[in-house]
Amino acid sequence: MDRIEKILEFLKANPKDNFLRHALALEYIKLGDDLKARILFEEILKDSPDYVGSYYHLAKLLEKLEQTEKAIEYYEMGMAAAKAANDNHAYSELQAAYEDLIY
């Protein structure tokens, strides 16, 4: 059973598990299925706007898809979420990626 099948099996029991959905989105990116990955990241952040790690990966994906304005928006939301969570490491990573994009 491959990784995606395993994650999907776990998700049957826990369909809103953010860790599993995030892992599945990353697997979809590896396969080049950017649309499925984007949908998953957006669902995670809609359900759990405090799930900080997904902001970075969604924004990076949007950069890849040349949707710069949307990527900037997610970096900014991610920095706000990281700041609210007092997650300085995530904030720094989001800020660095944000600055690389806008400057």
At 101 the pLDDT is 97
- Residues 54 and 22: beta-carbon distance below 8 Å: yes
Determine the Cα–Cα distance for residues 98 and 9; give it in Å rounded to an integer: 35
At 6 the pLDDT is 97
Domain boundaries, the chain: 3-102
List helix spans (H) across 32-67: 34-47, 53-64
Q: pLDDT tens across 77-95, in order?
A: 999 999 999 999 999 999 9
Q: What kind of architecture, by CATH, is found in domain 3-102?
A: Alpha Horseshoe (1.25)
pTM of model > 0.75: yes
Q: pLDDT tens across 1-49, in order?
A: 699 999 999 999 999 999 999 999 999 999 999 999 999 999 999 999 9
